[in-house]
Chains A and B, each alone.
Chain A
Amino acid sequence: MSEPVLSVKDLSVVFHLRRGDFTAVNKISFDIMPGEVLGVVGESGAGKSMTGTAIMGLVDRPGEVSSTSITLNGDRIDGLDEESLRKIRGRRIGMVMQDPLTSLNPLFTVGEQLIETIRRHLPLNEKQARARAIELLADAGIPKPEDRIDAYPHQFSGGMRQRVVISLALAAEPELVIADEPTSALDVSVQAQIIKVLKRLCAERGVAVMLITHDMGVIAEAADRMIVMNKGEIVETGTVGDIIHRPKEPYTIKLIDAIPSIKEQNPRYAAAVARGDEGDAAVTDAPLVRAENLSMVFDLSPSLFSRLTGRNRKIVNAVNDVSFQIERGKTYGLVGESGSGKSTCARMMVGLLRPTDGNVLLEGTDIWNDKDAAAKRRSKIQMIFQDPYASLNPRWRVGDIIAEPMRQLGIARNNKEITEKVAYLLDRVRLDPVVMRKYPHEFSGGQRQRIAIARALSSEPEFIICDEPTSALDVSVQAQVLELMSQLQDEFGLTYLLISHNLAVVRQMADAVGVLHNGVLVESGPVEEIFSAPKADYTRMLLDAVPDIAKVA
């Protein structure tokens, strides 16, 4: 066995805060071997990013790093002064960060940034460095690198930009690359390619990788060995196959159980099959909600002049002729990558955005054009938003937030009745009713999403649109929120439109699925049909791209 590339012993990061010390990382030790991809997984606040930051010596005050030793190929790199650290960062340790937009300088071309990095660390002249930069871009899978090298970062798509960042990280031939959530900001189809590129390049060069992510699927796809972290400590270490198939610690078992797998059949479908009806067979003739030929066109022309004359006219067909229907008490899942028009659909169906063309029918009423349409949609349709931090007014008490729809729609008038109903709703979403006196910032993300659900229920709706309801949450919390949503659906007879980029979540929750691609509904049908026998090429590609823990041998 050779010497490890990186060896960390007893690394701690402590933040000295006014209310006492907060230990972000607590005495962790691990090694990374040459050419190895080490996955570091954990939920938010587990200290995984802080570990990476501490190794690079980038922890700011009031954080304090302490360790017995951190060695990079035998050299101590802890406790170095800023000048020596700067020589190590970029030269011996490369970095790939989550957001490719902020890790590239928007004012310089990609080539300038690459050449600068190469020349700072390697003894090459301008011409050689440029040749090397082109080589690196080609290796990272950027087509026509000779032309693209003089482009600015904003001229690349998100995935291409992340490839550039990877080339930048590898530019100085480092011994170790620390990749912190390198694919979290990307769509699934792009995500798969980036993981492949990162893995291939590091394998070719024998570079060791520390891959930090919250997504167990990514680790399963890319890593050799993994570390599970929780609350600043290492819970379990081992090979990826061992941990995923034979987790030992209760925390790891819980974490792995909470991950919805895309390979898992829909439990509702299974139950329906067991009962004898083939799930989707019960197509009633009167669906609760119907979207008919919905279209949305945004005019992004730069000026009134170009709008009138048609010069430089820029029109975006965000949603193009989308039709589907949802039966009462069922869930319809709408999947698609970013920019596919999912959220635009949601906004048109909830009454926030008037469609350019087409109708939304709720129990036969056109919610945009009929006479009492506004009143109808306000009382019958509700929405749960993606970001639980932005969807609750930070200046309002929880009780007032939940009571607002009741007050507005005149469901309950006097304060006693309102308080009772709020308490009942909080109880339904498994929160203690005493929290109605508190403000949103006193709650965690999952608890906030429960409050948002209680608010949605407060207007006694029949149809709830859930726009990425769990994508801002940790997996274990996601599982709880999804379970709560299913329970409430049965309890109140709710109909859901579930919008998500997470295919596993949709497979688990939905009865029927629609796949959106560039504003067009490429496929729509019962969930098991689409997941087990997709017809459209795009759907097939999407399903193949999903990193999944079940793929680990």
Chain B
Amino acid sequence: MTDITPSAPKGRFAKIIDSDIFFSYRTSPVAIVSSIVAAILVLAAIFAPWIAPYDPFSPRTLNLMNGFTPPMSESMLGAFFIFGSDHQGRDVFSAILYGSRVSLLVGVSAVMFAMILGVSLGLIAGFRGGLTDTVIMRIADIQLSFPSILIALLIFGIARGILPPAQQENMAIFVLIFAIGLSDWAQFARTVRGSTMVERQKDYVSAARIIGVKPIFILIRHILPNVLGPVLVIGTIGLALAIIAEATLSFLGVGVPPTRPSLGTLIRIGQQFLFSGEWWILFFPAITLVLLALSVNLLGDWLRDALNPRLR
């Protein structure tokens, strides 16, 4: 190859526009559509208090006379519901906005927790090798051989036994994050361990060892930045899985308390009315969950392909 001529310094923004990743984004309709859908859903969740026409959790605004209003129509009391109302007269649209807030909060926190745990353990296993590696990876293998929902249920059960009843309501969300996060760390650990073992052999690590850089700093400063690419991909795909896991747990009734319903809780409530004709109570939360999980998942798929030079 010819020598690379030092190009004129470009602005940060211009550099991003010019990068290969952004090019791959621009030319992928799937990525564009799914990122727009995901952005709308996330923004709607974040700004729920300002967007939602009703406060779905305030008993003052609930009126049983508003119950079972079909979508796009007014109730007997003259209140208008885009997505209809449920049996208590609660606005389904507002409930979805607040519900996806909970779902996203739990999903993102759980993935962060799994990522931190998995990446740390993967780095240590890959770098130390030997017995440390064997122990950590065997635990991960055992973990992966159980369905993750089962592990989450188990942790949830244990937490319920340990925590005092008064605390259970408040702590439920944290237990949920912990349970989902702990059932998902092995994926991160495996990937990071593999890349760490490759990076550890490279000469830049030897160069750092020669001048006596401590192993912990070699791991954090040298190896970590080089193994983060795949972590980002698993993290994105993991987010979709975590949101679904939260919905599943809430659907089973072991998730968030009914006073702060998530999408899963709303689906659980809605499915009671599905066969009596009030389909909208189930349909809209369910379609929101599908859109959220699908768009995040497709975004993760695209990111994986875009970061893989062989598929370019």
B210–chain A nearest beta-carbon distance, Å: 6
Measured between beta carbons, the chain A residues less than 8 angstroms from B226 are 393-395
Complex alpha-carbon distance, A94 and B94, angstroms? 71
Whether B211 is near chain A, meaning CB under 8 Å from some CB there, is: yes
Contact A447 B3 (CB under 8 A): yes
Whether B1 is near chain A, meaning CB under 8 Å from some CB there, is: yes
Within 8 A of B (CB), among A418-469: 432, 434-435, 438, 442-444, 447, 452, 455, 459
Complex alpha-carbon distance, A44 and B3, angstroms? 11
Contact B203 A390 (CB under 8 A): yes
Whether A486 is near chain B, meaning CB under 8 Å from some CB there, is: no
Measured between beta carbons, the chain A residues less than 8 angstroms from B202 are 390-391
**A interface majority secondary structure:** loop
Within 8 A of B (CB), among A383-441: 383, 385-387, 390-395, 404-405, 408-409, 432, 434-435, 438
Contact B210 A352 (CB under 8 A): yes
Whether B204 is near chain A, meaning CB under 8 Å from some CB there, is: yes
Contact A391 B2 (CB under 8 A): no
Whether A45 is near chain B, meaning CB under 8 Å from some CB there, is: yes
Measured between beta carbons, the chain A residues less than 8 angstroms from B225 are 393, 395
Contact A351 B203 (CB under 8 A): no
Q: Which residue from chain A places its CB closest to the CB of B228 in the assembled complex?
A: A395
Q: Which of A165-173, A288-296, A374-382, A490-498 contacts B (4 or more CB under 8 A)?
A: A374-382
Partner of A385 from B6, B23, B206, B212 at Cβ < 8 Å: B206
Q: Which residue from chain B places its CB closest to the CB of A438 in the assembled complex?
A: B6
Whether B150 is near chain A, meaning CB under 8 Å from some CB there, is: no
A431–chain B nearest beta-carbon distance, Å: 10
Contact A408 B222 (CB under 8 A): no
Partner of B23 from A18, A350, A394 at Cβ < 8 Å: A18
Complex alpha-carbon distance, A9 and B293, angstroms? 57
Complex alpha-carbon distance, A55 and B125, angstroms? 48
Contact B203 A382 (CB under 8 A): no
Contact A393 B222 (CB under 8 A): yes
Contact A432 B210 (CB under 8 A): no
Measured between beta carbons, the chain A residues less than 8 angstroms from B204 are 390-393
Complex alpha-carbon distance, A435 and B207, angstroms? 21
Measured between beta carbons, the chain A residues less than 8 angstroms from B1 are 44-45, 444
Measured between beta carbons, the chain A residues less than 8 angstroms from B4 are 442-444
Partner of A352 from B6, B209, B213 at Cβ < 8 Å: B209
Whether A231 is near chain B, meaning CB under 8 Å from some CB there, is: yes
A30–chain B nearest beta-carbon distance, Å: 23
Measured between beta carbons, the chain A residues less than 8 angstroms from B64 are none
Whether B208 is near chain A, meaning CB under 8 Å from some CB there, is: yes
**B interface majority secondary structure:** helix
Contact B203 A391 (CB under 8 A): yes
Contact A378 B212 (CB under 8 A): yes
Partner of B6 from A231, A392, A432 at Cβ < 8 Å: A432
Contact B3 A408 (CB under 8 A): no
Contact A383 B3 (CB under 8 A): no
Known: A45-B2, A395-B225, A442-B4. A455 touches B23 (CB 8 A): no
Complex alpha-carbon distance, A107 and B40, angstroms? 52
Measured between beta carbons, the chain B residues less than 8 angstroms from A382 are 210-211
A348–chain B nearest beta-carbon distance, Å: 12
A22–chain B nearest beta-carbon distance, Å: 10
Contact A408 B2 (CB under 8 A): no
Contact B23 A387 (CB under 8 A): no
Q: How many A-B residue pairs have CB under 8 A?
A: 67
Complex alpha-carbon distance, A352 and B213, angstroms? 12
Q: Which residue from chain B places its CB closest to the CB of A435 in the assembled complex?
A: B6
Measured between beta carbons, the chain A residues less than 8 angstroms from B206 are 352, 383, 385, 391
Measured between beta carbons, the chain B residues less than 8 angstroms from A350 are 210
Q: Which residue from chain B places its CB closest to the CB of A401 in the assembled complex?
A: B204
Measured between beta carbons, the chain A residues less than 8 angstroms from B222 are 393
Partner of B211 from A385, A395, A459 at Cβ < 8 Å: A459
- Hey, what's the 0/1 contact readout for B258-279 against A, CB within 8 Å counting as 1? 0000000000000000000000
Complex alpha-carbon distance, A207 and B2, angstroms? 35
Complex alpha-carbon distance, A455 and B208, angstroms? 11
Complex alpha-carbon distance, A459 and B222, angstroms? 19
A408–chain B nearest beta-carbon distance, Å: 5
Contact B211 A378 (CB under 8 A): yes
Measured between beta carbons, the chain A residues less than 8 angstroms from B208 are 404
Measured between beta carbons, the chain B residues less than 8 angstroms from A452 are 207
Complex alpha-carbon distance, A382 and B4, angstroms? 28
Measured between beta carbons, the chain A residues less than 8 angstroms from B210 are 350-352, 378, 381-383
Known: A393-B222, A394-B226, A408-B213. A434 touches B207 (CB 8 A): no
Within 8 A of A (CB), among B202-240: 202-204, 206-213, 222, 225-226
Contact A455 B2 (CB under 8 A): no
Complex alpha-carbon distance, A393 and B200, angstroms? 11
Within 8 A of B (CB), among A101-136: none
Complex alpha-carbon distance, A44 and B207, angstroms? 27
B201–chain A nearest beta-carbon distance, Å: 8
Measured between beta carbons, the chain B residues less than 8 angstroms from A383 are 206-207, 210
Within 8 A of A (CB), among B23-61: 23
A290–chain B nearest beta-carbon distance, Å: 19
Q: Which residue from chain A places its CB closest to the CB of B205 in the assembled complex?
A: A393
- Hey, what's the 0/1 contact readout for B1-28 against A, CB within 8 Å counting as 1? 1111010000000000000000100000
Measured between beta carbons, the chain B residues less than 8 angstroms from A435 are 6
Complex alpha-carbon distance, A442 and B15, angstroms? 14
Contact A387 B203 (CB under 8 A): yes
B232–chain A nearest beta-carbon distance, Å: 14
Q: Which residue from chain B places its CB closest to the CB of A378 in the assembled complex?
A: B212
Measured between beta carbons, the chain B residues less than 8 angstroms from A405 are 211
Q: Which residue from chain B places its CB closest to the CB of A459 in the assembled complex?
A: B211
Q: Which residue from chain B places its CB closest to the CB of A350 in the assembled complex?
A: B210
Complex alpha-carbon distance, A277 and B1, angstroms? 45
Measured between beta carbons, the chain B residues less than 8 angstroms from A442 are 4, 6
Known: A18-B23, A390-B204, A395-B225. A444 touches B212 (CB 8 A): no
Complex alpha-carbon distance, A424 and B251, angstroms? 65
11 pairs of residues in contact across A and B, judged by CB atoms under 8 Å: A350-B210, A352-B206, A352-B209, A352-B210, A375-B212, A387-B203, A390-B204, A391-B204, A393-B204, A393-B226, A404-B213
By a beta-carbon cutoff of 8 Å, the part of chain A in contact with chain B is 18, 44-45, 231, 350-352, 374-375, 378, 381-383, 385-387, 390-395, 404-405, 408-409, 432, 434-435, 438, 442-444, 447, 452, 455, 459
For the complex of A and B, 6 pairs with smallest distance between CB atoms: A391-B203, A395-B225, A385-B203, A45-B1, A378-B212, A393-B204
- With A391-B202, A393-B204 given, can you name 5 additional A-B contacts, CB distance below 8 Å? A44-B1, A45-B2, A350-B210, A352-B206, A444-B2
